[in-house]
């Protein structure tokens, strides 16, 4: 679908008008949103972005490689692959509220550290456990990995 065509063209146009209206005006009379690159050095933005990049790469690799591993290496049916892949989503849904309480109680830096430790342990488990235990190793590794993100 091209931009500006199809059933949502009117909605897209209105969103564009709304965004343009609230952009700040520059000294040249044009509207633009300018952010200084020096702002990235303040308040630990760069380490946070780096951690976010690592987490996103790990999660995307898990979601991309997992179905192929389960389907081709372990010879599981598509239904079984889908059910096993949904375990991580279910764990994520169940752990969201308790992890929020944990971050509120311990603080964001400790919560971030705990999450990164869980991610590292889960990534290591994901590289070793499925080879030893097959499907159950994959499920156990995803169970360790998922609360980290």
**36-70 pLDDT per residue, tens:** 667 777 777 888 888 888 888 888 888 899 999 99
Q: Which long-range contacts (CB under 8 A, 24 or more apart) does 108-115 make?
A: 112/51, 115/55, 115/147, 115/148, 115/149
In a domain, 128, yes or no: yes
How far, in Å, CA of 71 to CA of 35, rounded?
46
22-33 pLDDT, tens digit per residue, is 666 665 655 555
What is the reported pLDDT for 30?
59
Using the structure block, give the residue that is written with the tokens 């499925």: 130
In a domain, 107, yes or no: yes
97-130 pLDDT, tens digit per residue, is 999 999 999 998 899 899 889 999 999 999 999 9
In a domain, 144, yes or no: yes
In a domain, 24, yes or no: no
Q: CB-based contacts of 86: which residues, under 8 Å, 6+ apart?
A: none
In a domain, 10, yes or no: no
Lowest mean pLDDT among 59-63, 75-79, 94-98: 59-63
The residue range of the domain holding 92 is 41-148
Entry pTM = 0.70
Q: Are 149 and 119 in contact (CB under 8 A)?
A: yes
């Amino acid at each position: 679908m091209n931009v500006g065509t199809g059933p949502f063209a009117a909605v897209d146009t209105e969103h564009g008008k709304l965004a343009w209206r609230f952009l700040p005006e520059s000294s040249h009379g044009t509207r633009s949103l300018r952010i200084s690159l020096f702002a990235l050095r303040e308040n630990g933005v760069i380490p946070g972005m780096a951690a976010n990049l690592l987490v996103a790469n790990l999660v995307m690799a898990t979601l991309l490689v997992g179905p192929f591993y389960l389907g081709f290496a372990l010879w599981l049916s598509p239904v079984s692959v889908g059910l096993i892949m949904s375990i991580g989503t279910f764990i994520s849904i169940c752990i969201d509220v308790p992890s929020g309480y944990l971050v509120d109680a311990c603080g964001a830096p400790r919560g971030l550290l705990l999450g990164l430790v869980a991610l590292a342990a889960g990534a290591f488990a994901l590289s070793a456990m499925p080879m030893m235990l097959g499907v159950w190793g994959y499920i156990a590794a995803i169970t360790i990995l998922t609360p980290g993100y």
